Chains A and B, each alone.
Chain A
Amino acid sequence: MKEKILFVTSIPNQAKRFWDRKEYENIVEAISQYELENIDLKEYKAIIFSMYIDQYILCNIGNKLKEFLENGKKIFLNGHIIKPFFKELKTFIPMKRPTLEEFKIIKLQEHLVYKNIDIEKLNKRKGVAGFFSRGGNPAPKGAEHIIAVKQKEVIVDWEYRINNGSLYVHSGNDLWTCMEKEEDNYALFNNIINWIQGDKDE
């Protein structure tokens, strides 16, 4: 069993600057989204999907992904769910004409994904709000709410546990692209890897 983390690229070489780092050599394996239907997911411990994921492919393997989670594995998903790929998931709801104040990110509880990350840095990129999220994928019943916007009304990040497995959803742009500085984006990507690896501080 490889037990690696699968990074699914939608655009060739997407986020290579992160998953291709030496420290991840034996941990992360990148494949194209078009290979996804033909590989044995059992060989992997987790999957990372970007906001560019082809949602028809997700629907085609929805049952396999559910089974993957039920078997104690983890999935980290970025983006807007427009085609829910198993029954607990619902379609993304955008905020209607959000104000600057409504974009403000609120941490609802500590989570390894945001460990040592200054949330303020996620609020704006080059002075523009809204990169982080413009709405939410509705959290399934029983999911832990991690991050919200619109005065806590819209849940943007949530974690949903199924058996020992876990689905983490960030309803916005790829989390590792939301900050100005590359080292901050790397720190966030590294936190995602640590969450998957099951850091003791979790």
Chain B
Amino acid sequence: MNNIAALNSGTAFHIVSLTKEPFNKYFKKVLYLPTLSFEELKDIDILLITCSSMYDQLQKKKDIFYKFLQEGKTLVVMGRNETKYWLKDIKEVELPFNFWWWLDEKNSIDLEVVKPEYPLFKHIKLKDMSWHYHGGFEIPKNALNVIEQKDSKKSVFFELDNYYGGKLIVTSLDPFYHHGSFFMPNATKFGFGLLNYLKDLKIK
């Protein structure tokens, strides 16, 4: 089982999602982002940058993330983290989206699984990951594109091996924001699915 650490920006939703049941048991450490140090990550395999972290602090701490990756470890970046300010070579793009698609019977969410064999789907189905998303990403060269928006073909979930020495998993979905805000039951299901996937993820 991997040692997972999650970054806590001190918002109400971070404190609820990361330090309380049911997700607290998945984390070896919950680390306060503004005082994060590299030493705190020594025994950590996977660092989770939770949804809506304070991006000015992510910017300040970005060297730590790249040092962590250089050790062959895994960085997971969730939605609403303004990656343009601190994540190298990754291009986030705005996507038009009907945030209220489930209220219109003619609509279905415009996301599509590209790699159904991706092991995350042993733990969760796309329908249980769906509420909305916050933009998407240009698919990086050599990335494994897992979920994309149908029309634009931009990724909302991808994995990139050999990213600055480690593995990078990026999504524009924001389950920990919604779970910790007591909004959207699917966010809780997704949180379970993702954390169960990460705890047993094979790391080189």
Binding site for B on A (CB under 8 A): 10-12, 32, 34, 51-57, 79-83, 92, 94-95, 126-128, 130, 134-135
Closest chain B CB from A81 CB (angstroms): 7
Contacts of A80 in B (CB 8 A): 12-13, 16, 181-182
B55 at the A interface (CB under 8 A): yes
B119 at the A interface (CB under 8 A): no
Contacts of A82 in B (CB 8 A): 12, 15-16
Q: Out of A32, A57, A83, which one reaches B56, CB within 8 Å?
A: A32
Contacts of A127 in B (CB 8 A): 100, 103
User: Whose C-beta in chain B lies nearest to the C-beta of A92?
Assistant: B12
Q: Is the CB of B181 within 8 A of A54?
A: no
Contact A52 to B15, CB < 8 A, known contacts A32-B56, A80-B181, A126-B99: no
Contact A128 to B12, CB < 8 A, known contacts A12-B55, A34-B34, A134-B182: no
Q: Is the interface of A mostly helix, strand, loop or mixed?
A: loop
B10 at the A interface (CB under 8 A): yes
Closest chain B CB from A165 CB (angstroms): 23
Q: Out of A12, A57, A83, A134, which one reaches B15, CB within 8 Å?
A: A83
Q: Is the CB of B55 within 8 A of A128?
A: no
Contacts of B1-37 to chain A: CB distance below 8 A: 9-13, 15-16, 32, 34
Q: Is the CB of B12 within 8 A of A126?
A: no
Contacts of B10 in A (CB 8 A): 53-57
Contacts of A126 in B (CB 8 A): 99-100
Contacts of B160 in A (CB 8 A): none
Contacts of A130 in B (CB 8 A): 183
> What are 29 contact pairs spanning A and B, CB under 8 A?
A10-B54, A11-B56, A12-B55, A12-B56, A32-B56, A34-B34, A52-B54, A54-B9, A54-B10, A54-B11, A54-B34, A54-B54, A55-B12, A55-B15, A56-B10, A80-B12, A80-B13, A80-B182, A81-B12, A94-B182, A126-B100, A127-B103, A128-B99, A128-B100, A128-B103, A130-B183, A134-B181, A134-B183, A135-B182
Give bound CA distance, A82 to B10, whole Å. Answer: 10
User: Whose C-beta in chain A lies nearest to the C-beta of B85?
Assistant: A12
Contacts of A81 in B (CB 8 A): 12
